[in-house]
Amino acid sequence: MPLYDFACNDCAHEFEARTEPGATAPCEACASDDTRRLFRPIAPPAKIGMRGLAAKRSNAKRAEREAKRRGET
């Protein structure tokens, strides 16, 4: 089973546990079932190094996509 990072919603403890994909693990500090998966980005954000016009263009495209998505739902 894959190793995932979890955070406890009750005591904010962070821990690693092996679970089925999509499942959550009980907190190892307080045994609460109210935990959530943490998604740790592997690659740095793509926007690093993007400046000026390129960044503006990217933002405009993203805004356009988001507007479209809002319109569809």
Q: Which residues bind Zn ion (CB under 5 A)?
A: 8, 10-11, 13, 27, 29-30, 32
The residue among 29 and 55 lying less far from Zn ion, judged by its C-beta, is 29
Backbone angles phi, psi at 71, to 5 degrees: -65, -30
The residue among 25 and 50 lying less far from Zn ion, judged by its C-beta, is 25
CB of 23 to Zn ion, least distance (A): 17
Structure-token pair, residue 6: 């979890």
Residues found in the chain:
73
Backbone angles phi, psi at 36, to 5 degrees: -135, 150
CB of 4 to Zn ion, least distance (A): 16
